[in-house]
């Protein structure tokens, strides 16, 4: 029996085999979505999305110094973050809304420093903590939704994007092509200190960072092509290919079957099993065999990441794994816990990685678990969730957790708004008939 047959048999036993081709009588698309969640759930979903949209309009849009246009945030306070902006705008693409994608993005670009540095938040300036590598991907997504129009980037904004990319690759003291995070806080996985370090450590060559940048280079190549800059387009494509190779050469541990970060100062892999180790699925840089191993051996392992409400952001086997929230080391508030809790933004990225690598069974289960966690286990949208109990934690907000509401529909439609070469469509408006409401008076 071949290894491929053995692998398929194992997945079948576990209930995660790739779905067989749909029978002619099986519902698909919108009807498949309605059949999978049930009519009562569809009605509940419509009510929840209506409430989320109301919150976006009344709490998430703000006037901001330097622009006459409204700015978007997913939080109940007036602050704007890097990858949060990316995910918040994915949610708005479901309704065909692109305005806030451009408004926020333009403001971040306008605040670029002469060396290309762009702070990851607007209100609080964070030295050494660059905007995570999502700006070019955000620009592509917004341009696709806006009639495939890239002309707004031409000139100064294109130059600023180029400088911001160059700034990222300057954080590379050993010149191996892999830049470092400032800290765990900078990575967005706020308290993964054992993986990414405390503030200003500048030591962690993050597998998540490298995957973010690989996609960002692909996005820059698309932008350059659209602006008739063929030399730049080829240079970015070549750089993305080199980075893809580095991810597989440097971060992969053959014995453990996992992608680990590397400590630039010691040269050793950081053997902490974090959800970041699955980012090569999202970026599409893992080989099929390595994808199989990290999915079978780790992702769907109930002793590591596949807890009752997956995906845990730390393997349960890690010594500093826990649920809940402790007092933060870097502020007076309780921390945002990434050492075991479930964060929908990570689920969403990995969900699409599973689809990319042809694991629709696992992807569907993750989509449904995420959907029911956010819609049924909690009365409102929360920032993050206890992976063992399902309890919502952090802020009540209208940010990236909203993506869970649409994951099952994306699965049925085989649609990925993060596909850099694919269309961006208003799938909620088209399929569920929910339009994004007009601005209320005073806005």
pLDDT digits (tens, 9 = 90+) for 266-284: 999 999 999 999 999 999 9
Quote the pLDDT of residue 388.
98
For 422, the token pair is 């694919």
Quote the pLDDT of residue 326.
79
pTM over 0.85: yes
**CA gap 209, 52 in Å, rounded:** 30
Which of 75, 76, 96 is CA-nearest to residue 85?
75
Quote the pLDDT of residue 329.
64
For 244, the token pair is 């893809």
Phi, psi values for residue 333, rounded to 5°: -90, 170
**CA gap 86, 139 in Å, rounded:** 9
Q: What is the CB-side half-sphere exposure of residue 294 using CA atoms within 13 A?
A: 28
Residue that has been written with the tokens 């840089």 in this structure? 285
Q: Which residues contact 258 (CB under 8 A, 6 or more apart)?
A: 252, 273, 277, 293, 294, 297, 298
Domains of the chain: 25-432 (1.50.10.10)
**CA gap 195, 314 in Å, rounded:** 10
Quote the pLDDT of residue 62.
94
Per residue of the chain (443 residues), give pLDDT as tens.
344 434 444 444 344 444 434 444 568 789 999 999 999 999 999 999 999 999 999 999 999 999 999 999 999 999 999 999 999 999 999 999 999 999 999 999 999 999 999 999 999 999 999 999 999 999 999 999 999 999 999 999 999 999 999 999 999 999 999 999 999 999 999 999 999 999 999 999 999 999 999 999 999 999 999 999 999 999 999 999 999 999 999 999 999 999 999 999 999 999 999 999 999 999 999 999 999 999 999 999 999 999 999 999 999 999 999 999 876 666 656 789 999 999 999 999 999 999 999 999 999 999 999 999 999 999 999 999 999 999 999 999 999 999 999 999 999 999 999 999 999 999 999 999 999 999 888 78
**CA gap 210, 202 in Å, rounded:** 14
């Amino acid at each position: 029996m071949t290894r491929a047959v053995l692998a398929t048999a194992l997945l079948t036993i576990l209930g995660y085999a790739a779905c067989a081709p749909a029978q002619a009588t099986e519902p698909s698309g919108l009807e498949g979505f309605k059949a999978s969640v049930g009519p009562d759930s569809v009605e509940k979903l419509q009510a929840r999305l209506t409430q989320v949209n109301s919150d976006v309009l009344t709490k998430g849009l703000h006037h901001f110094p330097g622009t006459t246009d409204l700015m978007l945030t997913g939080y109940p306070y007036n602050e704007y973050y890097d990858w949060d902006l990316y995910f918040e705008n994915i949610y708005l693409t479901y309704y065909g809304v692109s305005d806030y994608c451009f408004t926020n993005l333009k403001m971040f670009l306008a605040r670029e420093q002469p060396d290309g540095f762009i702070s990851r938040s607007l209100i609080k300036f964070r030295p050494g903590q660059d905007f995570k590598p999502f700006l070019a991907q955000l620009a592509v997504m917004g341009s696709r939704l806006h009639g495939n129009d890239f002309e707004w980037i031409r000139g100064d904004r294109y130059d600023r994007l180029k400088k911001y990319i160059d700034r990222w690759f300057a954080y590379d003291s050993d010149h191996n092509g892999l830049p470092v995070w400032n800290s765990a806080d900078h990575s967005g996985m706020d308290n993964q200190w054992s993986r990414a370090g405390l503030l200003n450590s500048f030591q962690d060559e993050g597998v998540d960072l490298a995957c973010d940048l690989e996609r960002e280079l692909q996005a820059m190549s698309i932008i350059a092509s659209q602006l008739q800059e063929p030399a730049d387009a080829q240079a970015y494509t070549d750089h993305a290919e080199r980075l893809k190779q580095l991810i597989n050469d440097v971060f992969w541990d053959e014995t453990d079957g996992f992608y680990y970060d590397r400590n630039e100062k010691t040269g050793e892999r950081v053997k902490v099993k974090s959800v970041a180790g699955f980012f090569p699925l999202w970026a599409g840089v893992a080989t099929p065999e390595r994808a199989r191993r990290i999915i079978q051996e780790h992702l769907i392992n109930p002793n590591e990441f596949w807890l009752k409400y997956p995906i845990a952001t730390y393997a349960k086997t890690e010594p500093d794994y826990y649920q809940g929230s402790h007092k933060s080391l870097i502020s007076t508030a309780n921390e945002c816990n990434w050492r075991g809790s479930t964060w929908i933004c990570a689920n969403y990225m990995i969900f699409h990685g599973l689809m990319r690598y042809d694991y629709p069974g696992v992807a569907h289960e993750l989509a449904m678990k995420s959907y029911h966690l956010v819609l049924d286990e909690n009365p409102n949208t929360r920032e993050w969730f206890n992976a063992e109990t399902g309890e919502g934690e952090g802020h009540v907000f209208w940010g990236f957790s909203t993506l869970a509401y649409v994951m099952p529909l994306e699965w049925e439609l085989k649609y990925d708004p993060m596909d850099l070469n694919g269309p961006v469509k208003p799938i909620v408006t088209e399929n569920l008939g929910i339009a994004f409401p007009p601005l209320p008076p005073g806005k």
